[in-house]
Chains A and B, each alone.
Chain A
Amino acid sequence: EDQVTQSPEALRLQEGESSSLNCSYTVSGLRGLFWYRQDPGKGPEFLFTLYSAGEEKEKERLKATLTKKESFLHITAPKPEDSATYLCAVHAGANSKLTFGKGITLSVRP
């Protein structure tokens, strides 16, 4: 069974304090790894897709990277508006479903 573990569960940063969120996965036949952002009371919003080890994607202050066992979401000089829950998901094998981690709740203090 596909497994996705995200750490830490929660992270509090000062504005401008860069950090990384971790997503470890155990799957058979990774077809893609995805990052989503979820604000309170909202549905998840797609951020990135990564398909193979070594791949990187960037968007504003966020950069996602992928290895054969984990992915990192690096946040550079975060702002309070980056506060949200960040979800990692994998697509593996012949299934069409995504398996999500439990998420990392990021809080950025001004």
Chain B
Amino acid sequence: DSGVTQTPKHLITATGQRVTLRCSPRSGDLSVYWYQQSLDQGLQFLIQYYNGEERAKGNILERFSAQQFPDLHSELNLSSLELGDSALYFCASSPRHGGNTGELFFGEGSRLTVL
């Protein structure tokens, strides 16, 4: 158990809908990262927050947004969903704002299926 909690584990929805994925980092970790994993693309970095502030942005679509709250949990909002958004969404946490340790603690992911 990594200590990172993600909900929901599975989510099935329709095209055009909006969903929210939630992540609770390990106790004491200030950084939260969101990654998308699909069969053809592998793990793709979406966005990072550190202590409530956005620190880095990757290949995140404009239809997607995220935030980190004062209690350090984070939410990833996906809107106007398309079939291609079906994927595993992982949250990871680390105690630092930089990725130089590379030791990220990943949750078990939220599997999103868009029909």
Which A residues have a C-beta under 8 Å from some C-beta of B?
A: 31-34, 41-46, 49, 87, 89, 91, 95-103
Contacts and interface: CB of A to CB of B under 8 A. Distances in A.
B42 interface: yes
Given A87-B43, A102-B42, A103-B42, A96 B99 contact: yes
Contacts of A96: 31, 48, 55-56, 97-100
Contacts of B106: 43-45
- Counting chain B residues whose Cβ lies within 8 A of the other chain, the interface size class is 20 to 34
Contact of B100 (A42, A87, A91): A91
B45 interface: yes
Contact of B42 (A33, A34, A100): A100
Nearest to A102: B42
Interface of B: 2, 4, 31, 33, 35, 41-45, 48, 55-56, 58, 90, 92, 97-109
B2 to A, nearest CB: 6
Nearest to A35: B102
A100 B48 contact: no
A42 B107 CA distance: 8
B48 A44 contact: no
